[in-house]
Structure 1
Amino acid sequence: MTRDIPDGYVGRPMLRREDGRLLQGRGRYVDDIRMPGVRHAAFVRSPHAHARIVSIDVRAALELAGVHAVVTGADLVGEVADAVVSPPIPGLVPTRFEVLPTRKIRFQGDLVACVIADDRYLAEEAAERVEVEYEILPAVTDMFVALADDAPKVDDRLASNRVVHRVHTHGRPDDQERDAAFVVETEFHQQRQSHVPLETRGCIASWDQGREHLTLVTGSQVPHPLRTQLVRRMGLRDGQVTVESPDVGGSFGQKIALYREELIICALARRLGTPIRWNEDRLENLQASCHAREQWCRTRIMADADGRILALTLDIVEDFGAYCFYPANYIAEVVGIILTGQYRVDHYRYDLTVALTNKCGVGPMRAPMAIASWVMDGTLDALARESGLDPIEIRRRNMLSAAQLPYDMPGGETLLDVNIDETMEAALEHIGHARLRADADTLHGCGICNVVESTTYGSRFYKNSGIGGSGHEAARIIVEPDGTVTGSVGLAASGHGYETAFAQVVGDGLGVSPDGVAIRLGHTDAAPYGMGSRGGRGGTAGGGALYECARMGQEHLLHIAAHMLGLNTARNLRMIDGRVEKLVDGAWRHAGVGIADIARLAYFDPLALPEGTRPGLEFYRTFDPPPMTFSNSTHACRVVIDRHTGQLTITDYVVVENCGAVINPLIVRGQQIGAVAMGISGTVLENMVYDAAGQNLSSTLGDYAIATACDIPMIRIHEKATPGSRTPLGLKGMAEGGVMGAIGAVANAVNDALAPLGVRASRLPLSPVYLHGLIHGHAISQH
């Protein structure tokens, strides 16, 4: 039998295999897991934003039958180490904090005590009986006020609330102003938001006293790094801890850190010798889990008479909340590094400052650098308004061409494998860039945003940034004795479609059908140590590691097959759908040997293997990506604003995307649409609001609005891809650029609509109240 070389499985739009169980309610989330003898935890949280703990009386709680423990910070001193965040980064102030505060609380919702009881209802009731006496302190909830010399200190151990001040300079930006025809300053303010995963945080911890082994079941994006944090904080060894992340109902960055609640549950499971579970309710999630995004930026651009950039400076101030679960420079630094995107900027400086406030701590949220594209293209639009030049022509004049790549960006990374000149022209064609006239009732605007998305960070990036850790990923593939295949990688899925996409990658690399490939994720005992799911690294780092491992496996399989066929070399052999084919007279023919035959020999008759070949079929490979991998896209949209109400409507939305090689177009399309929807939601609706006393005014879904299907327009997506030149299969990643582009495209469209009125929207969200105020001259003031 002969046949032509078939297409590979990578690139096929295969249905997600995991949807079969998830859509039928057969998923396995933390709350679905039942464990005999498990007890339940509830936390006592502070109603105040800033207060000293005078006393805690737990007697009334302990009087309830079925309450087994009420633990305060003093009870855990010496049992669990403080969190210490102190990488050797110039300008970064080292911080540390206790797992349970012993002296004072720093934000509304901060932890005070933990109750363990027979069921959750009893634990909640007991928590309400814990009496805490507070000495209320002045709270600071504005990052600019927090930076003042006389501001109340959030962390008494520090000299001030300023935990980061870093400056990076490329060239001589200050010297360019004398030659500039235009000097324009522009401000941008992105509001505080939260992740709102469908599944809130939760965990089950159990301690096996006989084996001295801790098992933590939790929805985590990073099972292995989470384990590393656990063993360090609890004084254990890596081999004493298993972290299992089953199905995870959304993360978006919220489920990366080891939070204090999980650590407390683990410590108490060890102390009490009983399994303990904790499930966060929605109020806790919105109030006390992790927030993101609150940043203020000011750019100063210097340009010649033709609109060509002479120099650009960025000042960025970020509100990091009450605790540093991450190095506080991390999020703002990435904004500074990638800000210039695919524009040529020879002279550049970014100056970043991060402040602590009496609000929930901050961490990465899908596209932590989300504001960058809005700031860059919004700055070019401001330059266009000041100069009278066409904003699209300004973009064209400053954009790098393909011939100028690779390009050393002024932020320090090397840009390559992008084509924004092509994606922008295509987006303009699809959106139709002609201006619609305003009328008595409506204002019309069209916005363009070019996005350079930093996706996969390699180890070199972390090394250069002074941050400990690695960017590599590891893969293990086992061909089982019956010829089926199991692949594992150190990632955890929370809606990514990894089980399907990675089966396609392994199928392509090994030469088998994806239907015979099982993917194991999210379990530290089953998968090799990897850095987890974050950013857009899953497909590139995880898929790259699996593909290279699979290719290595196919080479080994064909070596054995050649021996079985009496051949001296495997040069004219290949594996297709698990069958070995041989090239005979220019045609591929089935050789009569398949992967199941090879597996039986390898496991059950190792003496028949080629000399020096080990028994079994297990393969391991690591892949460390380049320092930074880039995808790009252009987003364009049209909006209408009602003059009388300020109501914003998006009437058309186009994306032209370059995310490199695509493993599964269906999954990629879902990720792209989801990212755009998340960006639109954050741009027009979401807002985490605190009053001056530090009270969270938006800690329910009645107050914290998120977009529904009714709020999201039809999103038209077009591909104009170029493969990555430094990654297996040409993979580049694409999970976050949609957020970046949506923010910039919608905000720029709104400002295009407002331009005839001589006003500009400089802050998000673009609510009807805010837009109405701009239109009618009574906008809310903002830093």
Structure 2
Amino acid sequence: MSTSEFRHIGGHQPRKEDARLLTGKGRYIDDIFVDNALHACFIRSPHAHARILSIDTTAAQAMPGVVAVVTGKDLQQWTTRHSMAPPIDGLHPMEMDTLPISKVRFQGDPVACVVAIDRYLAEDAAEQVQVEYEPLPSVTNLWRALEPDAPLVDESLPSNLLSHQKAVHGDVAGAMGSAFRIVESTFSQHRQTHLPIETRGCIAQWDQGRGHLLFQVGTQVPHPYRTTLATRLRLKETQVTIDSPDVGGAFGQKIALYREELTVAALAIQLKRPVRWREDRMENLLAAAQSREDHCRTRAAVDAEGRVLALELEMVEDFGAYSFYPGNYLARVVAMILTGPYRIHHYSYDVQVVLSNKTGNAPMRAPMAITSWVMDGTMDAIARSLDLDPMDVRRVNMLTREEMPFTMPTGEVLADVTPCETMEGALRAIDYSAFRERQSKAREEGRLLGLGLCNVVESTTYGSKFYKAAGILGSGHEAAWVRIEPSGEVSAAVGLGASGQGYETSLANAVADGLGVSPGCVKLHLGHTDIAPYGMGSRGARGGTAGGGALYLCAQVARQAVLDIACCMLGTGHAEQLRLMDGRIQNKLAHAWADTPLTLADIARTAYLDPLALPPGMKPGLEFHTTYEPPPMTYSNSSHACVLEIDPLSGAIRFERYIVAEDCGTVLNQFVVEGQQHGAIAMGLSGALYEHVEYDEITGQNLSGSLADYLVATACELPRFELLPMHTPNRQTPGGMKGMAEGGVMGAIGAVTNAINDALSFLGVVADCQPLTPMYIRELLRNSRHSTFTKVQP
């Protein structure tokens, strides 16, 4: 089926989920009542780095209502150690206990757990647990972590350098030696956290008679989560069911099996009673996963026209105290796709990942978020250095449609992306030449206007071949089943874990068009490992392409079976002359389609209840299963244009316009995609301007442990987003899907920073660190070379 024949894919249907979610009828972890459940509360370290000398639980255990108090030594008997040891060159293996036994590594590290008959008693009892610590020097600065005498975060390793990988592609040295100029730039992205509305939580119920664990938890990856949980508990996978109900946001924080969740599961088995846990907001800010803290330096060899002859990247990432993921995982993706939409043949990278006494890292929506800012920020730096128009520098370096597919220097293949088209579309919408005239006049009036452009190539569907090439453990396949019920209604399932993406709406469209029914007839089953097939879950932007692709292909298999049965029942010669349209069989007569007496319900009843009437050799029922291995990587692309004004007195910014021209292939549902774009852009702008997990450099204390300190943008601070759909299909995926959901973060980070630097460019200063607070911008103004602004009092 070509994209022009889609009836439901690409529609603007309202989200099915919203009927329950917006009326308070959602089913989150806290909405699930479990009789006789106990409540867990964790005792957390007040120190960033310390030896555990003793833990006295006597007073807590004596309190009425307290059922148990356990420590790392107890958990050591009931669970296996976590091991992260993939055979990757330059990456050190790491192991950790379920709860620390000898040493804590960050403020908030859980050292013991109280279980009581209600949450209030558990929290009261937690305060009575006495832990004696021997404080140790901490390291919370990534540069300090690299020094030879830095305190060791993990004493089993020779240093804090967890991962070090480098590569040279092409003749970088030769290009550097013959360059007209070498342009150096730096980019520092600060530490952030995911901040889902629903914090982490779980319920564990052990069925002693069946030897079975029902574990209800908000997770993005139900099946891999089950595999890990069963392994750590020394259970068979058949003894564990993961049920992930409605999830109030995840953004990458709800992928790993965390130590608290494993502890709760082990306690339920040992106590033979249900145990539940919900972290509060402070715990989430202190102890849930964090992300983003990177420092990048580029050296670009260019000719007189700004054409990039070679590019060098040096990157250092702060990975925190524990390795829930391979240490090279997040930074390696940045290095592999950095060159993005630009024609660069000679490229090298040197990537170091260090441990520190901070909360461990996890992927955060767009773990490669810094990529587009680095590349387009480098383009702007080249323009400043050579006194060229920044858009002309982009044009001379940008890949064209005629050059696709293009093999990046790292071997990644770009195909079916349109960066030239989206950039020019954004520039037309913003009226670039008119803006430059306005900017010049504004400067004469003492006003600071800036325009930032960021071209994004977003890696979306990570296939198995990508993981293999990157030296990262993982599979990229997805699995789906479609079952046509005897009534003609359709049930479908896929191995994704929904956390607010609108899957029930968008994926129903994929099934509907693949089969030939209305989306209203399709019921999606997600998040339950006993129901959904074993898939790799939701991460990156793979849901639409991998999940939607698997369902679309499975639905097509189901449709063919339906048509074969219809052909037999109608007595026609060829199934090719039939089609299923909105649940009714149609026959092609001459050049038009006409309804037959048969409906999908008629065929389904025959398949289940009269199997002797089926075509010879066909089995009863209508249930189908398909797995889908996507290409090594699919890419979507977009161009973000941001116009803003800086107040020279305060350093505050005011948005004027924000435009995004996006090509994300065949869109499963326009309404859902627009919501994803809005959410991603908002997250990127909020992160670049406000959000900052900050640690005291001496004590290692988290200074942003509440929402009074960890600031988040609201609708009042964000601009109106103008979206320009410029979609073209991918020729390698079912239906032409490309995927999307993270590029908005990437583009927002680069566009707003580039806009600020454009406003400040004539002053001789560059914002190369985030967050872009008014205080930071005001400091840049004070250090500028322009008298009009240096005279302004701070």
TM range (shorter): over 0.9
- Residue 315 of structure 2 aligns to a residue whose secondary structure is strand
Q: Deviations over 1:119-178 (max 9, x none)?
A: 000000011100000000000000110111100000111111000000021012122222
Instruction: For 1:410-489, list aligned pairs within 5 A.
Output: 410-433=409-432, 434-435=435-436, 436=439, 437-438=442-443, 442-489=447-494
**Could you say which residue in structure 2 is the equivalent of 1:372?**
371
Q: Deviations over 1:552-581 (max 9, x none)?
A: 000000101111111232121000111101
**Could you say which residue in structure 2 is the equivalent of 1:256?**
255
**Could you say which residue in structure 1 is the equivalent of 2:792?**
none
What is the aligned counterpart of 2:743 among 731, 737, 746?
A: 737
Q: Deviations over 1:44-76 (max 9, x none)?
A: 000000000000000000111110100000112
What is the aligned counterpart of 1:562 among 564, 567, 572?
A: 567
**Could you say which residue in structure 2 is the equivalent of 1:504?**
509
**Could you say which residue in structure 2 is the equivalent of 1:16?**
15
Match status 1:642 vs 2:651: no
**Could you say which residue in structure 2 is the equivalent of 1:578?**
583
Aligned equivalents of 2:769 and 2:262: distance in 1?
A: 37
**Could you say which residue in structure 1 is the equivalent of 2:308?**
309
Instruction: For 1:319-718, list aligned pairs within 5 A.
Output: 319-433=318-432, 434-435=435-436, 436=439, 437-438=442-443, 442-692=447-697, 693-718=699-724
Aligned equivalents of 2:447 and 2:195: distance in 1?
A: 33
Q: Do the aligned partners of 1:220 and 1:255 also contact (CA within 8 Å) in 2?
A: yes
- Residue 77 of structure 1 aligns to a residue whose secondary structure is helix
**Could you say which residue in structure 1 is the equivalent of 2:726?**
720
Aligned equivalents of 2:444 and 2:696: distance in 1?
A: 38
Instruction: For 1:108-123, list aligned pairs within 5 A.
Output: 108-123=107-122
Aligned equivalents of 1:468 and 1:317: distance in 2?
A: 22
1:404 shift after superposition: 0.9
1:778 shift after superposition: 9.2
Aligned equivalents of 1:432 and 1:593: distance in 2?
A: 56
Aligned equivalents of 2:554 and 2:200: distance in 1?
A: 33
Letter of the aligned partner of 2:225 in structure 1?
A: L
Aligned equivalents of 1:170 and 1:7: distance in 2?
A: 43
Q: Which deviates further from its counterpart, 538-547 or 178-187?
A: 178-187
- The alpha-carbon distance between structure 1 residues 7 and 469, as it changes in their structure 2 partners (threshold 3 A), is closer
1:441 shift after superposition: 5.1
1:605 shift after superposition: 1.2
Aligned equivalents of 1:573 and 1:32: distance in 2?
A: 47
- The alpha-carbon distance between structure 1 residues 778 and 387, as it changes in their structure 2 partners (threshold 3 A), is closer
TM-score between the two structures when normalised by the length of structure 2: 0.97
1:469 shift after superposition: 2.3
Q: Do the aligned partners of 2:450 and 2:644 also contact (CA within 8 Å) in 1?
A: yes
**Could you say which residue in structure 2 is the equivalent of 1:60?**
59
Aligned equivalents of 2:587 and 2:521: distance in 1?
A: 22
- The alpha-carbon distance between structure 1 residues 778 and 140, as it changes in their structure 2 partners (threshold 3 A), is farther
1:96 shift after superposition: 0.6
**Could you say which residue in structure 2 is the equivalent of 1:177?**
176
Aligned equivalents of 1:721 and 1:278: distance in 2?
A: 44
Match status 1:772 vs 2:778: yes
- The alpha-carbon distance between structure 1 residues 440 and 136, as it changes in their structure 2 partners (threshold 3 A), is farther
1:481 shift after superposition: 1.0
**Could you say which residue in structure 1 is the equivalent of 2:765?**
759
- Residue 753 of structure 2 aligns to a residue whose secondary structure is helix
Aligned equivalents of 2:593 and 2:723: distance in 1?
A: 39
- Residue 253 of structure 1 aligns to a residue whose secondary structure is coil
Q: Which deviates further from its counterpart, 217-226 or 605-614?
A: 605-614
1:78 shift after superposition: 3.1
Aligned equivalents of 1:725 and 1:494: distance in 2?
A: 29
Q: Which deviates further from its counterpart, 391-400 or 769-778?
A: 769-778
1:388 shift after superposition: 1.1
1:467 shift after superposition: 2.3
Q: Which deviates further from its counterpart, 606-615 or 315-324?
A: 606-615
**Could you say which residue in structure 2 is the equivalent of 1:36?**
35
Q: Do the aligned partners of 2:81 and 2:97 also contact (CA within 8 Å) in 1?
A: yes
1:734 shift after superposition: 1.1
Aligned equivalents of 2:419 and 2:748: distance in 1?
A: 16
Letter of the aligned partner of 1:196 in structure 2?
A: L
1:440 shift after superposition: 5.8
Q: Do the aligned partners of 1:89 and 1:465 also contact (CA within 8 Å) in 2?
A: no
Q: Do the aligned partners of 2:6 and 2:513 also contact (CA within 8 Å) in 1?
A: no
**Could you say which residue in structure 2 is the equivalent of 1:219?**
218
- The alpha-carbon distance between structure 1 residues 451 and 6, as it changes in their structure 2 partners (threshold 3 A), is closer
- The alpha-carbon distance between structure 1 residues 7 and 458, as it changes in their structure 2 partners (threshold 3 A), is closer
Aligned equivalents of 1:673 and 1:302: distance in 2?
A: 36
- Residue 108 of structure 2 aligns to a residue whose secondary structure is coil
Aligned equivalents of 1:247 and 1:449: distance in 2?
A: 34
Aligned equivalents of 2:474 and 2:389: distance in 1?
A: 45
1:95 shift after superposition: 0.6
1:401 shift after superposition: 1.1
Aligned equivalents of 2:261 and 2:366: distance in 1?
A: 25
Instruction: For 1:124-139, list aligned pairs within 5 A.
Output: 124-139=123-138
**Could you say which residue in structure 2 is the equivalent of 1:72?**
71
Match status 1:103 vs 2:109: no
Q: Deviations over 1:716-749 (max 9, x none)?
A: 0101111111100000011000000001010001
Aligned equivalents of 2:418 and 2:740: distance in 1?
A: 15
Aligned equivalents of 2:508 and 2:417: distance in 1?
A: 28
1:6 shift after superposition: 7.6
Aligned equivalents of 1:357 and 1:648: distance in 2?
A: 33
- Residue 443 of structure 2 aligns to a residue whose secondary structure is coil
1:410 shift after superposition: 1.1
1:389 shift after superposition: 1.5
Q: Percent same amino acid at aligned positions?
A: 57
1:518 shift after superposition: 0.4
1:7 shift after superposition: 5.3
**Could you say which residue in structure 2 is the equivalent of 1:246?**
245
Letter of the aligned partner of 2:378 in structure 1?
A: T
Give the aligned CA root-mean-square deviation in angstroms: 1.1
1:608 shift after superposition: 1.5
Q: Deviations over 1:334-393 (max 9, x none)?
A: 111111011111110011000000000111100000000000010111111111121111
TM-score between the two structures when normalised by the length of structure 1: 0.98
Q: Do the aligned partners of 1:472 and 1:531 also contact (CA within 8 Å) in 2?
A: yes
- Residue 482 of structure 1 aligns to a residue whose secondary structure is coil
**Could you say which residue in structure 1 is the equivalent of 2:789?**
none
Long gaps (5+) in structure 1: none
Q: Deviations over 1:590-609 (max 9, x none)?
A: 11011111111111111121
Aligned equivalents of 1:74 and 1:745: distance in 2?
A: 50
- Residue 612 of structure 2 aligns to a residue whose secondary structure is helix
Q: Do the aligned partners of 1:420 and 1:634 also contact (CA within 8 Å) in 2?
A: yes
1:465 shift after superposition: 2.1
Q: Do the aligned partners of 1:441 and 1:642 also contact (CA within 8 Å) in 2?
A: no
Q: Deviations over 1:371-428 (max 9, x none)?
A: 0000001011111111112111111111111111111101221011111111111111
The size of the alignment, in residue pairs, is: 775
Aligned equivalents of 2:293 and 2:206: distance in 1?
A: 39
**Could you say which residue in structure 1 is the equivalent of 2:142?**
143
